[in-house]
Amino acid sequence: MSPALPASIGPYDVKERIGVGAIADIYRAYDPANNREVAIKLLKNGMVERYGPYLRRRAELSARLDHPAIPACYGYVQTDEGAYLVLELVEGTDLLRLLEEHGQFLPPQHITAWAIQVCDVLTFLHTQAEPLLFRDLKPSNIMVGPDGGIHLVDFDIVMGFQPGQRYERIGTAGYAPPEQYEGREDPRSDLYALGATMHHLLTGLDPHHRPPFAFQEIPPSAVNPAVSPALEAAVFKALAYLPVDRFQSAEAMKQALLDCL
């Protein structure tokens, strides 16, 4: 049974709950001061101490994350009662829900087009003066709008990249690359997660239900005959166990995907 819907969160009038997670819930709310609807990401009880700093950093990064495919962040609020982010409300459906609604798997040409857009966002992040790592790319964090454009959501664990830096071992099992489990990430780690996302969408096979890093045991074309050899090769290259064997940039992966179209 879902908890009761709060009437308000701070000065924001809650309209509905639009997302439920282990760490936070997301609400559609009305912002009376600015006469607009927003998304409120409210941390659950007991999560503020660990995850509050991530949400605060997300708000601090908002000026650097000025990109049409990245929802704007209007601020972070922490009080004795809890903590929440105020975000631009993105209309659309995430790719995990779209897959569940569609059936066994999604059309390869649609997946390829979406992945090309994701590569553009990753290029934007990875080529900042201080490169940024997304660190949690997966179908549920990619929204498709009514016009077919994508938005990346849930930037809560984005971090700046410095060679040799060690990171907290955090991410989503099944999509996170091997090196993320060791805290040794770099921009190619996001490309692995994009490959894992594409494999899931192309085959309908949820990586949560398979042994870690076992994607290449099942060629996408063996499940979905509509997957071309070129697309399969691009997905497998992104999913290489060692970063040196993957695409070396999001732009290089984008060019390979464009060739598939």
For the segment 103-152, what is each residue's pLDDT rounded down to a tens digit?
888 999 999 999 999 999 999 999 999 999 999 999 999 999 999 999 99
- Domain boundaries 93-260, corresponding CATH code: 1.10.510.10
pLDDT tens-digit series, residues 93-104: 999 999 999 988
Fill in the amino acid letter for 125: L
Q: Is 190 designated active site?
A: no
* pLDDT at site 79: 87
Q: How far is CA 123 from the centre of its chain?
A: 14
CATH topology agreement for domains 8-88 and 93-260: no
25, 31, 94, 136: the catalytic one is 136
What's the CATH architecture for 8-88?
A: 2-Layer Sandwich (3.30)
Per-residue pLDDT, averaged over 212-231, amounts to: 92
Rounded to the nearest integer, the mean pLDDT of the chain is: 93
pLDDT at 27: 97
Beta bridge pairs of residue 36: 31
Alpha-carbon distance of 234 to 229, in angstroms, equals 9
Does residue 1 carry a pLDDT above 60? no
Tell me the Cα Rg of the chain.
18
The full set of domain ranges for the chain reads: 8-88, 93-260
